[in-house]
């Protein structure tokens, strides 16, 4: 196992490097450059600016400089916001995005699994139909529509929760609801479907025949196997939500890091693009690594370090 983990870590470094490399060259293929819009600057100022951000160097030199910045995790100053460094943007935005993200994931996972399990247990019963209607509505309504409706009803009309900004736990309720509904619905449907499949397996009958209580059979025997598809999507879901979502942050005026992913690309702010991409990809590969480890823990039949099945 230790050997497997060590190998995976080496591969994670390679993966992040490839993502950074591809992003760097794709980014330079984009039409426009970060300094294009300052039309008022004269030739000399323009050249000085380019020299300051190393944009006058050949592409390959710029690339090596970026590799250096990845190794030290110091991406230098932002081109568009000269008073900020990429690191200061990230270290300010991430704690907020992470707080929002963790609560969202917890809400979505707990309620999604509960809905899915109850629906599967009462297959084609009333609870099943109610749970799946909730799930279908959750998927059918995009989160920005839901966010608008939540603000209109719960914040403006009923005045229960504050409408926007980020300062107290009460401020977190509406964005969490808006963000968690979609993933909750997806988790509920996946749980229900694989629960239904698992419940027909012989080992569930065996467990019941041994006289185990239904609750114990469901939680220890069925759910453990039924959670595989849920665990699969959790990796990418976590990476996506913890690093912020642009639309929800914008609607609720939350100073998270989601906006840097979109703005940096629209503004061709090269250091910020590279910084956010490297940050996100490190996060992503680590989450996917955890998912693979979780596979092995949930299902002992899965051997991660085997040498092929065919």
Contact residues for other proteins (CB under 8 A)? Answer: 11, 14-16, 18-19, 22-23, 26-27, 29-31, 132, 136-137, 139-142, 144-145, 148-149, 152, 186, 189-190, 193-194, 196-197, 200, 225, 228-229, 231-233, 235-236, 239, 261-262, 265-266, 273, 276-277, 280-281, 284-285, 288, 295, 299, 301-302, 306-310
- Mapping DSSP onto H, E and C, the string for 48-101 reads HHHHHCCCCCCHHHHHHHHHHHHHHCCCCECCCCCCCEHHHHHHHHHHHHHHHH
Q: Decide whether 6 or 14 has the Cβ nearer to other proteins.
A: 14
Helix (H) or strand (E) holding 134: helix 126-140
List, in order, residues 6 or more apart from 271 with CB less than 8 Å away. Answer: 53, 69, 75, 76, 77, 78, 79, 86
Least separation, in Å, of the C-beta of 239 and other proteins?
8
Q: Decide whether 63 or 295 has the Cβ nearer to other proteins.
A: 295
Least separation, in Å, of the C-beta of 72 and other proteins?
20
Q: Decide whether 41 or 142 has the Cβ nearer to other proteins.
A: 142
Least separation, in Å, of the C-beta of 139 and other proteins?
6
Least separation, in Å, of the C-beta of 44 and other proteins?
31
Q: Decide whether 114 or 228 has the Cβ nearer to other proteins.
A: 228
Q: What is the DSSP letter of 141?
A: S
Least separation, in Å, of the C-beta of 66 and other proteins?
15
Least separation, in Å, of the C-beta of 211 and other proteins?
25
d(C-alpha 109, C-alpha 92), whole Å: 27
Tokens of 79: 């081109």
d(C-alpha 282, C-alpha 20), whole Å: 10
Q: Decide whether 229 or 255 has the Cβ nearer to other proteins.
A: 229
Buried/exposed 78-93: b ≥16 CB within 10 Å, e otherwise = bbbeeeebbbebbeeb
d(C-alpha 273, C-alpha 284), whole Å: 16
Least separation, in Å, of the C-beta of 168 and other proteins?
26
List, in order, residues 6 or more apart from 137 with CB less than 8 Å away. Answer: 185
Backbone φ and ψ of 15, nearest 5°: -60, -50
Tokens of 235: 């990796």
Least separation, in Å, of the C-beta of 250 and other proteins?
12
Q: Decide whether 51 or 156 has the Cβ nearer to other proteins.
A: 156
Q: Decide whether 103 or 277 has the Cβ nearer to other proteins.
A: 277
CA angle at 73 for the pair 71 and 76, rounded to the nearest 5°: 115
Q: Decide whether 30 or 45 has the Cβ nearer to other proteins.
A: 30
List, in order, residues 6 or more apart from 280 with CB less than 8 Å away. Answer: 239, 243, 261
């Amino acid at each position: 196992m230790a050997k497997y983990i060590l190998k995976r870590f080496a591969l994670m470094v390679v993966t992040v490097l490839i993502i950074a490399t591809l992003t760097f060259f794709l980014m330079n293929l984009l039409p426009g450059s970060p300094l294009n819009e300052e039309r008022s600057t004269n030739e000399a100022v323009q050249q000085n600016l380019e020299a300051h951000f190393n944009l006058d160097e050949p592409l390959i030199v710029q690339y090596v400089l970026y590799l250096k910045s990845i190794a030290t995790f110091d991406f230098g100053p932002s081109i568009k916001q000269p008073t900020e460094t990429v690191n200061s943007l990230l270290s300010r935005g991430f704690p907020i995005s992470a707080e929002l993200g963790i609560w969202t994931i917890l809400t979505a996972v707990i309620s999604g699994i509960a809905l899915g399990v109850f629906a599967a247990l009462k297959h084609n019963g009333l609870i099943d139909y109610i749970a799946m209607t909730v799930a279908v509505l959750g998927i059918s309504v995009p989160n920005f529509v839901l966010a608008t409706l939540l603000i209109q009803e719960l914040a403006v009309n009923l005045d229960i929760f504050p409408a926007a900004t980020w300062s107290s736990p009460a401020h977190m309720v509406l964005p969490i609801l808006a963000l968690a509904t979609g993933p909750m619905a997806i988790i509920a449907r996946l749980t229900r479907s694989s629960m239904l499949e698992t419940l027909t397996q012989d080992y569930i009958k065996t467990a019941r025949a041994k006289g185990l209580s239904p609750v114990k059979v469901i939680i220890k025997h069925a759910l453990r196997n039924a959670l595989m598809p849920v665990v699969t999507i959790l990796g990418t879901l976590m990476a996506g939500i913890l690093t912020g979502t642009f639309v929800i942050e914008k609607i609720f005026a939350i100073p998270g890091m989601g906006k840097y992913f979109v703005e940096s690309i629209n503004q061709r702010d090269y250091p910020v693009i590279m910084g956010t991409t490297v940050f996100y990809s490190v996060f992503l590969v680590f989450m996917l690594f955890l998912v693979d480890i979780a596979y092995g823990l949930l299902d002992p039949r899965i051997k991660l370090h085997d040498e092929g099945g065919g």
